[in-house]
Amino acid sequence: MSKSGTIPTSWARVRLDSVAFVQTGIAKGKAVHEPSIELPYLRVANVQAGYLNLNEIKTIELPTRLVTRYQLKQGDVLLTEGGDFDKLGRGTVWNSQIECCLHQNHVFAVRPNHNVLSSEFLSYLTGSEYGRRYFLSCAKQTTNLASINSSQLKAFPVLLPSIEEQKRIVAVLKQADTAIDLTEQLIAAKQQRKKGLMQRLLTGQVRFPGFDGAWEKVNLGKIAIEHDGIKTGPFGSQLHASEYVEKGVPVVMPKDLVNLRVSHRTIAQVSQDKADKLSHQLLQEGDIIFGRRGEIGRCALITEDDLPSLCGTGCLRFRPTSSIDSSFIAYLLRLPKTIAWLNRNAVGQTMLNLNSSILRDLPLDIPELAEQKLIGDFFEKVDSEIQLLQQKRDLLQQQKKGLMQQLLTGKVRVPV
């Protein structure tokens, strides 16, 4: 809904400063030469979209006479000044989680007149597509950054139904939030359980029934064959940036390796003709891809869904032999002790790097193939359960976004 869009006749559109007080925060770095006090304060990092991250709270010294000026009050709506585009206008409601807490000058505290404007309703409205469009339309923007000032925030056009209707809208959106929160808690619980099971099953501390044989100590180079990835870049490469196309065969880059899967975040692609010329370097199902640099231990298992694709620069490819289950090896590579070994043996000063010889020497403990398959299949099922929950969460978030767009602009009304 645009700023000039229609709203229900019983609603009003008013400036924010006519129904709320906008309080700016305290600036850091000022010397204090009078009676003072040290108090906790909120930074941009503490204020997230829809919640507060209070894991790290810093303190600031200020004159005692200014405490009331910068102190947060129950029901204040916290909004960030900006930064990255996704941080523009994000915020949540302050519920006095910390006693006598202040806020930094990059965080606004909006104090609604609760007779006409609900804090929760305002927080949902500023965080909706309607609010985002307003803030982007008036924000000062540079490359990847955007910010608003207090004057622009005060001029925010609040869509204002009756306080009773605001409460009904908030109740519906809170139900959506509850469903999302419960799903995220399930995801976190399953991920934590998986972490503990990996530590026990992948080290032989716990065995499946029927298996009691000793595990073999081997190096990765003994159970997986190394294959080179294609080189990319301007100097002596087989593939130049100019050869990337909009649609074609994907090239797997280090940033694409996320949680043992390929996400194709970089979406580098080459033409089919180019891929045909590099056919001997096409990835196969079961290949394991390592990132050479950056986050040590970043890797992915290539599945049928990833094909066809090529292994790009900055990646190393290993293909397990027929006596090794690829899924088992992939999960084994995510064990903390494996990642710790890779960090100890990586080379480089400003940025750690892995090379083929390091990976070939990586020590691993391997059971017989049948037990490998059981363990690999087990964790694939666990990951499938987590993935289904993540898909459910994403769907719930999309549904909430649609609800916000409809309810907060009056396109759909909540019945009494």
Which domain CATH number covers 23? Answer: 3.90.220.20
The pTM for the full model equals 0.81
Task: From 160, 179, 207, give the residue that closes a domain.
Answer: 160
CB 89 within 8 A of CB 125: no
Asked if the structure places residue 29 within a domain, the reply is: yes
pLDDT band at 239 (very low <50, low <70, confident <90, very high): low
Our count of domains for the chain comes to 2
Predicted local distance difference test score (pLDDT) of residue 233: 43
Distance CA 356, CA 339 (A): 16
For residues 222 and 344, state if they share a domain: yes
* 241 compared with 119, residue with greater pLDDT: 119
Are residue 150 and residue 224 in the same domain, yes or no? no
Q: How many whole angstroms separate alpha carbon 405 and alpha carbon 285?
A: 43
At residue 28, does pLDDT exceed 80?
yes
In a domain, 80, yes or no: yes
Domain boundary among 343, 366, 389: 366
- Establish how many alpha carbons lie within 13 A of residue 64's alpha carbon, considering only the half-sphere containing its beta carbon: 4
What whole-number distance in Å separates Cα of residue 125 and Cα of residue 7? 14
Residue range 114-125: mean pLDDT, rounded: 97
pLDDT at position 242 is 62
Same domain, 141 and 256: no
Residues 137 and 276 in one domain: no
For residue 163, name the pLDDT band (cuts at 50, 70, 90).
very high
Which residue has better confidence, 314 or 179? 179
Cβ count near 305 (within 10 Å): 9
Pick the more confident residue, 325 or 252: 325
Over residues 251-268, mean pLDDT: 85
Asked if the structure places residue 211 within a domain, the reply is: no
Residue 397: inside a domain, yes or no? no
Whole domain around residue 95: which residue ranges? 12-160
Among 341, 366, 391, residue at a domain's last position: 366
Same domain, 221 and 362: yes
In a domain, 390, yes or no: no
Whether 139 and 231 map to the same domain: the answer is no
Do residues 237 and 127 both lie within one domain?
no
Strand partners, 318: 226, 288
What is the 8-class DSSP label of residue 214?
Answer: P
